[in-house]
Amino acid sequence: MAGSANLNVMMKTARKVGRALLKDFTEVEQLQVSAKGPGDFVSRADKRAEETIRTELMAARPSYGFLGEEGTVIEGEDPTRRWIVDPLDGTTNFLHGLPHWAVSIGLEHKGQIVAGVIYDPVKDEMFYAEKGEGAWLNESRLRVSARHKMIESIFATGLPFGGRADLPETLKDLARLLPACAGVRRFGSAALDLAYVAAGRYDGFWERRLNAWDMAAGLVIVREAGGFVEPLREGGDILSDGEVICANEAIFPAFAKVIRGA
């Protein structure tokens, strides 16, 4: 699929950064055994990735705004458009030498995400979508799964760690959901969780306390693959509340009912 000029810039940038991160990832595997450990090295890699993305995108579109995971906020001359970027989604995986992490670049126009790219360099999988143009993985069209029985479906989420306050809620979600489904996965990258729902690998995904950059690209990819995406609390706002629930159309009502505890 030939995308728009913006989408091409996003894909080219994601690939460039992905290649550099892949080199760093190989390095991390060496650092695992060193006394100092890979922590500092990874945060440097993360920052460097964001700088590269910012440089590339701002060179291509100097008037757009920019919001990055590493704290970069640029108010663009064009207040209606901004890039929302996570240079390395799945940092903890990366740090531990787990090959499941991605570069995520979303483009927002007037408060709506209009294009998204999620690139997994380890598997060389490029998920991308533009509003109204469908969702793609490399050269193939993406569709959400066609399952319509909860008991045959698998779902993805994130689990709260390190003393986060949303642990009790998540445990309640799991207590309701696990008996009703074929399994729940926790792979450690919200961007790839969304991409996998779009690809029909997961039947649904929900999570609380996410940041805009974790989700921006994935939201448009799931929608364009035919998925239903809603705020976790009805009437909420996904990006500002940092809560999302999505699934294929057939599963969504039953899944949402379980998660929302109705």
Give the β-pairing of 81-89 and 65-68. parallel
pLDDT in tens, 70-114: 777 899 899 999 999 999 999 999 988 899 999 999 999 999 999
pLDDT in tens, 202-233: 999 999 999 999 999 999 999 999 999 999 99
Look up the pTM and report it. Answer: 0.95
Alpha helix ranges (H) inside the chain: 5-31, 39-60, 91-95, 167-177, 190-198, 212-224, 238-241, 252-259
Q: Is the pLDDT of residue 2 over 90?
A: no
* Sign of the torsion angle spanned by Cα atoms 32, 38, 39, 42: negative
Tokens of 134: 């469908």
Domains detected in the chain: 5-141 (3.30.540.10), 150-259 (3.40.190.80)
Cα(49)–Cα(40) distance, rounded to whole angstroms?
14
pLDDT in tens, 177-192: 999 999 999 999 999 9
Nearest to residue 218, comparing CAs of 240, 238, 237, 241?
238
